Amino acid sequence: MVSVLLGALPARAHKGSDAYWTLKATGSHFTGRLDVALKDLALLLPLDPNGDGALTWGELSAQRPALCTLVQQKVSLAQVGARCVLDCGALQVVTHSDGTYAALELSGSCPADLVTVQATYELLFDVDAQHRGLLSLGAADSAHWDAFTSNQRTRDVTFAAVSAGEQAGLAVIQGLHHIGVGWDHLCFLFALLLPSVLRRDARTWVTREAFKPAFLDVAKVVTAFTVAHSVTLALAAFEVVHPNAKWVEVAIAASVALAALNNLWPFVPETRWSLAFSLGLMHGFGFVSAIQDLGASGPRLWLSVFSFNVGVELGQLLIVTALVPLLWLLRGRALYARVILPLGSAVILGVALFWVSQRV
């Protein structure tokens, strides 16, 4: 019986086999990652020793040394014929549109600074002639990929060199921008600064006479907030902790609500800076996605984190120096203690509660 439908074979169903390879260069060092589909890797390594068709994390991680050896054989960078050192880092797992992939961190160094190098990629072509190795030299989700195919296994690739100065500058601007459009962070600051030109006397608000106490109050609040969010930003940016992004947003909104609530029913009467610190911790986690968008990694990550922070503090400083004199001028009016402070705080409280409900 002629297998007639062999004639009408559609090759347009699933995606062909791809591996995704990212690289970033700093001077003569590079870091990166290689994502290989587990479906494909199963053809090269014994990923399913018990033959049940289910590839588990245990089965994969047991093959890490063999995977590393394989990658070092089939993937390489060279400068003018001199091969670069390629080391394997941590093995993780990642999801792409057509299934689960092994994600192997890579690092290494070349004899000279990385500008243009010869990249060779030969994984899987012998078992899948339609496999492609896709290399990206930018951030992980950049649009441009260089394709290595069975017929083209070596390519000259050029790294876009960003000087330290450019990188820092971009990060500062990103920080400035982030605080400028970050309404939740701004409302948090407003709520904490509104009472700075008053002081608590028994159970009422009284206008401050001298500027110095007000100034000190502002300085303590801003410094406490800055220290708090800088610490948590660094912890998350360097991946010491991995906070859940969705709940971070909820917690930030809640922190704004609490700061505003404190103005209406002061539960932290004297040292608002302690509240600024405690509630400000969550805000640092909220900045992390902006750092990740900068795409820095490896030894230069500290530069991006530091510069971003500088940008945030600059922005904060601008806002404070614009706002506080205004508050100082208004503080004397009866309206301030009786209307502006409570009404302003109530509005911020309402908006913050709305954000909480939206973000949950």
Partner 1 sequence: MKATLAVLAGGVALTVLFTLIPAERTGAPWVPARADEVLERVAPGSKPVVAASADDAAVLARQLIEDSRARGGDPRLLGRAQAVLAPWWTAADAPAELVLMRATVKQALHDFPGALGDLDLVLRTRPGDAQAALTRATVLTVLGRPAEALASCELLPREGEPYAGCAAGPLALSGRLEDGLAVLALAPQSAWVRSLRGELLWWKGDVAAAEGELRAALQLDAGDAYTRLLLADLLLLDARRPGEVAALFPGEVRNDGELLRVVLAGAAPEVRADLEARVTANRQRGEVLHRREESRYALAIEHDAARALQLAVENWGVQREVADARVLLEAAVAAKQPAAAQPVVEWLEATKLPVPGLRALVKELRP
Q: For residue 341, give the nearest of 152, 194, 144 by alpha carbon.
A: 194
Q: List, as own/partner pairs, every contact residues 94-97 make where C-beta atoms lie below 8 angstroms and the sequence separation is at least 24, other chains included.
A: 94/35, 96/18, 96/20, 96/35, 96/37, 97/15
Q: How far is the CB of 18 from partner 1 (least distance, A)?
A: 5
Q: For residue 259, give the nearest of 335, 359, 346 by alpha carbon.
A: 346
Residue by residue, DSSP assigns 260-282 as: HHHHHS-SS-S-HHHHHHHHHHH
Token pair for 316: 């904060």
When asked if residue 268 is in the footprint of partner 1 (CB under 8 A), the reply is yes
Residue among 29, 131, 178, 208 that touches partner 1 (CB under 8 A): 131
Nearer to partner 1, 172 or 260 (CB): 260
Residue among 49, 58, 210, 322 that touches partner 1 (CB under 8 A): 58
Q: How far is the CB of 71 from partner 1 (least distance, A)?
A: 16
When asked if residue 244 is in the footprint of partner 1 (CB under 8 A), the reply is yes
Q: For residue 217, give the nearest of 328, 347, 342 by alpha carbon.
A: 328
Q: How far is the CB of 116 from partner 1 (least distance, A)?
A: 22
Nearer to partner 1, 281 or 341 (CB): 281
CA distance 18 to 149: 10
When asked if residue 103 is in the footprint of partner 1 (CB under 8 A), the reply is yes
Residues of this chain, 173-232, that bind partner 1 according to CB under 8 A = 228, 232
When asked if residue 164 is in the footprint of partner 1 (CB under 8 A), the reply is no
When asked if residue 323 is in the footprint of partner 1 (CB under 8 A), the reply is no
Dihedral (C-alpha) 287, 289, 292, 293: value to the nearest 10 degrees?
Answer: -110
End-to-end CA distance of the chain: 61
Q: For residue 105, give the nearest of 120, 124, 92, 119 by alpha carbon.
A: 92
Q: How far is the CB of 294 from partner 1 (least distance, A)?
A: 15
When asked if residue 96 is in the footprint of partner 1 (CB under 8 A), the reply is yes
Q: How far is the CB of 359 from partner 1 (least distance, A)?
A: 13
When asked if residue 5 is in the footprint of partner 1 (CB under 8 A), the reply is yes
When asked if residue 343 is in the footprint of partner 1 (CB under 8 A), the reply is no
Stretch touching partner 1 by CB under 8 A, among 69-77, 166-174, 203-211, 240-248: 240-248
When asked if residue 314 is in the footprint of partner 1 (CB under 8 A), the reply is no
